[in-house]
Structure 1
Amino acid sequence: MPRKRKLIYISNLCSNTVSVINVKTNKVIDTIKVRRKPFDFAETSDNKLIYLTNSGTNKVSVISTFRNKVIKTITVGKKPDDIDLDPSEKTVLVVNSGSNNVSKINAKNNKVTNTIRVGKKPFTSSFTPNGKFYYVSNSGGNTVSVIDVRRNKVVKTVRVGKNPFQARVSRDGKLVYVPNNGSNTVSVIKVATNKVIKTIKVGKKPSRSFVSPDNKLVYISNSGSNNVSVICVSNNKVIKTIPVGKGPFTGMFTPDGKFYYVSNAGGCTVSVIKVATNKVIKTIRVGRNPLIGRFTPDGKLYYIPNSGGNTVSVIKVATNKVIKTIKVGKNPQQAIFIMR
């Protein structure tokens, strides 16, 4: 039986393609043509299929990783941005920011079964770990829509701060953290009651939140103040504010949870934070406007797309140095890891 290959897939927003990188050689081995403005990925756990939103259209591309070809194109709402597979992988939910709704796809036949109306300009959203509820941040207003996935309806609309950019469910499924880009706060929603139990003051223009693997900390990227707020989950208080590079957009924990890599999208660096001390231990020079990266599962390499330079920087985690710069399509946005 042939050995499986480790691959990185990159969505190239302005060339309407997906680049496929072989991790062993760090070379592009395939380029997949998709629809306009490909953006977000969701992959099946067996790594056989990738669902991809094409934000310049009303389409989702289904890619076979064995053939590196689009095997199905699904019509959804306008300007699909975020996409998620539920934990059971029976359902795919697509957040359509241009039509203010969420498309529900049956993952068995890849057909849309329901369209659920939510708030204005819905954006980054997430499932509870049991897959029963889906929290949608409505970035054009000040609400979060709570979808009952089985009943295909919004069961609660929660008022939060201005311009919520994301709804991130904690790993234990008890809390939802919502960075409010327009009010410089984070709203904390209790899942059991769907009520805001805390509003936390953070830096300017918070955009993304990530929960540590041990569920003890939440890191908030404040793109307007060039820092990261660290929230302690046990008391929902900011315990540290960490200066990073220009315009921090998002971040990613190493698989072991010891480090947090922040992409500074307003410049050309990645800040490496040591979680034990909440201090930046390294600033790595990459390409222009780094966005959403991905670690290999063994934590040895980090692939970061540089949207302003049409490249992907490969960082060796042991040394925190760029070991390769790979040319890809125009305006690369996100990376995902596939083994097949």
Structure 2
Amino acid sequence: MNIRTSFAASLLAGSMLLPFSAFAGQAPFADSAPDIPVSSKDRVYAAEQFSNTVSVTDPATNQLLGVIKLGDPQPGNLSPLYKGQVLVHGMGFSPDKKTIAVVSIGSNSVTFIDTATNTVKHTTYVGRSPHEAFYTPDGKEVWITVRGEDYISVIDASTFEEKAQIKVPAGPGMQIFSPDGKYGYICSSFNPETVVVTVADHQIVGHVKQASPFCPNIAASPDGKQVWFTLKDIGKAQVFNAQAPFDLIKTIDTGPITNHVNLVTNKNGSFAYVTVGGLNEVKVFRTDNFEQVATIPVGNLPHGIWPSGDGTRVYVGLENADAMAAIDTLTNKVIATIPIGQAAQAVNYVPNAVPEGDGLQNLQPLGTAGVAAHLKLEMKGDKVNKAPTSVSLFDQGLTQVLQASVTGLEPKKMYVLALSEKADGSGPLQGLSSFMTNPAGSAIVNAVGPIRQIVEAKHKDERRYLVVASVEDGKPGNVLQVQTAE
């Protein structure tokens, strides 16, 4: 018996003496990686795009420790002399768990942060509107999807400099890697095609047809057999074979504004957790027969999601709630809701991120980054089919960034978010933002202004109410959704 075979046999024999999950392995690592129990050495990070912060949470206590400030809110970030980051959004972490890479869409940047000290080590600027970042399993490269263009920026992890570009279909959304480091899987946000690239030589070796053009997120299973990706515009998730010929295995209806997916292995089996923003839910599916086994209400507009190092929990960023939900994966119940910054996007759970010390260096209090008002809209006159349209007003000084997660409308039609003098939407309307719904009848709508002061005005002559109306001849038409108490 050779040494390699003997070592493999020893591992197998040892694993038989341990609980099922002891060598289960959690994404993005292989199933041979040992589980890491939740402890105060772990950290949960969320990228927050309107406060331009990264929140840092201790999962042992489910308490926010503070935020890493990467930039300023408006109007400070509008200055031509502004040097901070804008629209902090995507996130990935190194295999040694010592660095997180944080993508800022508006400033075309990737910020590398030391997990032990919360110190910014370097900022690399790439092409237009990057979206997500992740390290190759060997830790040598960081791949950045440059969604505003048509390539992957390959960053040398030691020098933080771009070393190559990989040409892909325009609008790459996110990339993730096979646990063995052989393949990179890159979905598209602008074209209905996912490509498979060999990590060693950066060559495209596979193509997977997406059911729609808008994929924001992708995950690979620790056993190296499946890749899951989400389709935000049509409310579906798709699964394909992680090995050649990379054939499609399953398409699953998930719901409007399907955001992120991640994979969890625990003593009950292997599961995919999918955030469905338009329903304010996380849906859970088995990865063997794709049966839906749970629906978990979590709060307004769930977005990023990541498992703990032992698969006993997943953490979910709530984009329209300034919060993060912790879910126990054995009961599929929310066990904590943690206040964080504005409009959480990507979430990473990094086991053993702080091996020594308290890890509180360079953290700042949440402060104004956690200030927001929350409203909701419901279908006018419909007491049964209430559309869960959530609205957040994120404070930016005297103004706010309004974000509405609009659902329950007809697909691919023009509407307008507007202000009305009357609570029922009658009378003249003042348009804030026109939008077209996606094929699932939903949309994310943004506006900027002193809107909170208007919708919360004490004097009835000054107060206005948010509504959603159809667009007729370029003007607001019938009011379909009206503001109600949150």
TM-score surpassing 0.5?
Answer: yes
Residue 226 of structure 2 corresponds to which residue in structure 1? 217
Q: Deviations over 1:150-196 (max 9, x none)?
A: 56543432221121111222211111111111112111112232121
Please report how far the alpha carbon of residue 95 of structure 1 lies from its aligned counterpart in structure 2 after TM superposition: 4.0
Residue 349 of structure 2 corresponds to which residue in structure 1? 336
Distance 2:309 2:98 in 1: 24
Q: 1:305 to 1:137 in 2, by over 3 A?
A: closer
Q: Alignment partner of 2:223: what SS?
A: coil
Residue 295 of structure 2 corresponds to which residue in structure 1? 283
Please report how far the alpha carbon of residue 336 of structure 1 lies from its aligned counterpart in structure 2 after TM superposition: 3.4
Distance 1:177 1:19 in 2: 28
Out of 314, 319, 343, which is 1:302 matched to?
A: 314
Distance 1:313 1:20 in 2: 11
1:32 maps to a residue whose letter is G
Q: 1:277 to 1:293 in 2, by over 3 A?
A: same
1:262 aligns with 2:274: yes
1:32 aligns with 2:66: yes
1:139 aligns with 2:173: no
Residue 123 of structure 1 corresponds to which residue in structure 2? 131
Q: 1:315 to 1:336 in 2, by over 3 A?
A: same
Written as runs of structure 1 = structure 2, the 5 A alignment for 1:70-81 is 81=89
Distance 1:150 1:261 in 2: 33
1:220 maps to a residue whose letter is F
1:186 maps to a residue whose letter is T
Please report how far the alpha carbon of residue 322 of structure 1 lies from its aligned counterpart in structure 2 after TM superposition: 3.4
Residue 240 of structure 1 corresponds to which residue in structure 2? 250
Distance 2:43 2:98 in 1: 24
Residue 64 of structure 1 corresponds to which residue in structure 2? none
Residue 179 of structure 1 corresponds to which residue in structure 2? 187
Q: Deviations over 1:221-269 (max 9, x none)?
A: 1111111110101221111111112211112211446011101123311
Q: 1:310 to 1:127 in 2, by over 3 A?
A: closer
Please report how far the alpha carbon of residue 17 of structure 1 lies from its aligned counterpart in structure 2 after TM superposition: 7.7
TM-score (norm 1): 0.73
The structure with the largest helix share of the pair is 2
1:228 maps to a residue whose letter is A
Q: 1:193 to 1:267 in 2, by over 3 A?
A: same
The structure with the largest strand share of the pair is 1
Distance 1:297 1:230 in 2: 23
Distance 2:160 2:45 in 1: 31
Percent identical: 24
Q: Alignment partner of 2:173: what SS?
A: coil
Q: Alignment partner of 1:173: what SS?
A: coil
Q: Alignment partner of 1:188: what SS?
A: strand
Unaligned runs of 5+ in 1: 36-52, 58-74
2:256 maps to a residue whose letter is K
Q: 1:76 to 1:189 in 2, by over 3 A?
A: farther
Q: 1:287 to 1:158 in 2, by over 3 A?
A: same
Residue 320 of structure 1 corresponds to which residue in structure 2? 332
Please report how far the alpha carbon of residue 111 of structure 1 lies from its aligned counterpart in structure 2 after TM superposition: 6.5
1:253 maps to a residue whose letter is L
RMSD of aligned Cα (Å):
3.6
More displaced stretch, 258-267 vs 192-201:
192-201
Q: 1:85 to 1:183 in 2, by over 3 A?
A: closer
Residue 44 of structure 1 corresponds to which residue in structure 2? none
Residue 259 of structure 2 corresponds to which residue in structure 1? 249
Residues 92, 348 of structure 2: 8 Å contact kept: no
1:230 aligns with 2:264: no
Distance 1:335 1:107 in 2: 12
Distance 2:94 2:312 in 1: 28
Greater C-alpha radius of gyration? 2
Residues 301, 321 of structure 2: 8 Å contact kept: yes
Q: 1:171 to 1:278 in 2, by over 3 A?
A: same
Unaligned runs of 5+ in 2: 1-38, 75-82, 353-357, 359-486
Q: 1:55 to 1:241 in 2, by over 3 A?
A: farther
Q: Alignment partner of 1:245: what SS?
A: coil
Q: Deviations over 1:299-338 (max 9, x none)?
A: 3333323222334434332332335555555534436366
Please report how far the alpha carbon of residue 105 of structure 1 lies from its aligned counterpart in structure 2 after TM superposition: 6.9
Q: 1:107 to 1:323 in 2, by over 3 A?
A: closer
Residues 178, 184 of structure 2: 8 Å contact kept: yes
Distance 1:108 1:338 in 2: 12
Q: Deviations over 1:190-216 (max 9, x none)?
A: 223212122211122111110001111
TM-score (norm 2): 0.53
Distance 1:249 1:140 in 2: 19
Q: Deviations over 1:6-50 (max 9, x none)?
A: 8764648356684746656x6x4x552543xxxxxxxxxxxxxxx
Q: 1:149 to 1:55 in 2, by over 3 A?
A: farther
Residues 78, 98 of structure 1: 8 Å contact kept: yes
Q: Alignment partner of 1:207: what SS?
A: coil
Residues 245, 271 of structure 1: 8 Å contact kept: no
